[in-house]
């Protein structure tokens, strides 16, 4: 298994933002049941311009601006999905998911199960995560752990433009509820993206972004790129294998386990609070399956259970970077 790009045909260089927009454009063209809704997604183009010019091609019936009422429009997305629509709901900042939590946890996640499997729930919720914009605690959170933890929800978090496009397309085509967590500071990051409209990244399939022999680094979102840069810098010291799990739930344990069997060392880097988190899930699975393959204690890189503060000196202190990953690697080799 690898990035999957090797066999994906022609590619084009694009940013994460463009990749996400292309994913929506292609799926809106492909299926009339797909529509996009959220705050300012239409003429404004989305507060991070991800929906951009979609309204020009698809009009305001399919690119719907909503009132500022997350519980109302997320709930409408759930009701629309239960009746045959395929809504893509944008929640501007993941911090605002709290406002709509009832509809997510008790309706979206539970309806299929509680109805004995007799409904589908093809809703996609896109939202932005992460610090780095001096936006303080209510606009910088990384909360994907909550949703990956909650039964009945699939959760993905792309770290590259190709993953962004492929995962969003899979999310829209899926008959299950999928939440797409986009790190807002990598919207400008560029990479090669397959142009084939049938290119998708399966939910639950990790990508080996760089092969290496010495240390496995499982990195997500922004930390994928930073770790790849670090791997080149550190090439003389350690040969890093960098894995982007891409899908947090389901999680591709086997790809990570196989890598650990080879390297014997694991660092997990994810911009979320460390306690009870995404890191812990990866670590637990590897300890359960590959304890005897480990040559050193596993290390975690994340946020030290604080909120993301405003002042640049404070924010820079808490947000994990490639430097923190380097220190973690130093501890395992």
Partner 1 sequence: MPPIDMDTEEGRIEALRRMYRIRAFESTAGELFADGELPGFVHLYKGEEAVGVGATAALESDDYITSTHRGHGHCIAKGLDTERMMAELYGKADGYCNGKGGSMHIADVEAGMLGANGIVGAGPPLATGAALTAHRNGEDRVALAFFGDGAVAQGQVHESINLAATWGLPAIFLVENNQYGEGTPMEKQHNVENLSETAEAYNIPGFTIDGMDVTAVAEAVAEARKRAIAGDGPTFIEADTYRYEGHFEGDHQPYRDEEEIEAWRERDPIDQFKQRLIDRGELTDAEFESIREEIDAEIDAAVDSAQRADPPEPHEAYEDMFAEPAPEIATFAELPRADGGDSR
Site residues for partner 1 per CB under 8 A: 35, 61, 64, 66-67, 69, 71-85, 87, 102-103, 106-107, 111-121, 151-152, 154, 174-176, 203-204, 249-251
Min separation Cβ 6 and partner 1, Å: 24
The residue among 61 and 188 lying less far from partner 1, judged by its C-beta, is 61
- In 10 A of CB 90, how many CB atoms? 26
Strands (E), the chain: 11-15, 34-38, 63-65, 86-91, 124-129, 154-156, 178-183, 190-194, 207-210, 215-219, 240-244, 247-249, 266-273, 299-303
The residue among 132 and 204 lying less far from partner 1, judged by its C-beta, is 204
The vertex-227 CA angle with 221 and 229, nearest 5°, equals: 120
The residue among 119 and 321 lying less far from partner 1, judged by its C-beta, is 119
d(CA 277, CA 144) in angstroms, rounded, equals: 9
Q: Is the Cβ–Cβ distance between 213 and 250 less than 8 Å? A: no
Min separation Cβ 58 and partner 1, Å: 12
Min separation Cβ 293 and partner 1, Å: 18
Pairing assessment for the beta strands 240-244 and 207-210 based on DSSP bridges: antiparallel
The residue among 8 and 248 lying less far from partner 1, judged by its C-beta, is 248
One-character DSSP codes across 43-93: TT--TTSSSTTHHHHHHHHHEEE--S-HHHHHHHHHHHHHTT-EEEEEESS
The residue among 107 and 124 lying less far from partner 1, judged by its C-beta, is 107
Min separation Cβ 256 and partner 1, Å: 14
Q: Which of 18, 26, 39, 70 is catalytic?
A: 70
Instruction: Identify which of 247, 237, 256 has the alpha carbon closest to the alpha carbon of residue 325.
Output: 237
Min separation Cβ 326 and partner 1, Å: 32
Q: Which of 22, 139, 281, 290 is catalytic?
A: 139
The residue among 70 and 226 lying less far from partner 1, judged by its C-beta, is 70
Secondary structure of residue 190 in the 3-state scheme = strand
Min separation Cβ 175 and partner 1, Å: 4
Instruction: Identify which of 5, 65, 1, 4 has the alpha carbon closest to the alpha carbon of residue 35.
Output: 65
* Half-sphere exposure in the Cβ direction for 247 (13 Å, CA): 25
> In DSSP terms, which residues pair with 28 in a beta bridge?
none
Q: What is each CA distance from 206 to 4, 9, 120, 250, in whole angstroms?
A: 10, 19, 25, 10
d(CA 127, CA 178) in angstroms, rounded, equals: 11
> Is 188 a known active-site residue?
no
Instruction: Identify which of 27, 104, 110 has the alpha carbon closest to the alpha carbon of residue 73.
Output: 104
> Is 211 a known active-site residue?
no
The residue among 152 and 264 lying less far from partner 1, judged by its C-beta, is 152
Give the catalytic positions in this structure: 70, 139
């Amino acid at each position: 298994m690898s990035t999957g790009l090797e066999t994906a045909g022609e590619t084009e260089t694009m940013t994460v933002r463009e990749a996400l927009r292309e994913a929506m454009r292609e799926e809106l063209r492909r299926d009339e049941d797909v529509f996009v809704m959220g705050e300012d997604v239409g003429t404004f183009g989305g507060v991070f311009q991800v929906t951009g010019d979609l309204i020009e091609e698809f009009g305001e019936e399919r690119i719907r601006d909503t009132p500022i009422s997350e519980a109302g429009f997320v709930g409408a997305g759930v009701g629309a999905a239960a009746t045959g629509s395929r809504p893509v709901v944008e929640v501007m900042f993941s911090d605002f998911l709290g406002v709509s939590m009832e509809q997510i946890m008790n309706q979206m996640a539970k309806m299929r199960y509680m109805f004995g499997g007799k409904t589908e729930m093809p809703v996609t919720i896109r939202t932005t995560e992460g610090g780095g914009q001096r936006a303080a605690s209510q606009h910088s959170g990384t909360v994907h752990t909550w949703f990956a933890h909650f039964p009945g929800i699939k959760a993905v978090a792309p770290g590259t433009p190709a993953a962004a496009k492929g995962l969003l397309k899979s999310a829209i085509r899926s008959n299950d509820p999928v939440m797409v967590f986009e790190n807002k500071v990598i919207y400008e990051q560029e990479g090669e993206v397959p142009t084939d409209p049938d290119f998708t990244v399966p939910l639950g399939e990790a990508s080996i972004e760089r092969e290496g022999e010495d240390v496995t680094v499982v990195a997500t979102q922004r930390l994928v790129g930073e770790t790849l840069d670090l791997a080149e810098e550190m090439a003389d010291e350690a040969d890093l294998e960098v894995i982007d799990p891409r899908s947090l739930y389901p999680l591709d344990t086997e790809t990570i386990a196989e890598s650990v069997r080879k390297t014997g060392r694991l660092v997990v880097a994810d911009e979320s609070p460390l306690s009870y988190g995404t890191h812990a899930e990866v670590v637990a699975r590897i300890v359960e399956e590959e304890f005897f393959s480990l040559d050193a204690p596993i290390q975690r890189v994340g946020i030290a259970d604080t909120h993301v503060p405003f002042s640049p000196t404070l924010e820079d202190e808490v947000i994990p970077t490639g430097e923190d990953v380097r220190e973690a690697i130093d501890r395992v080799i």
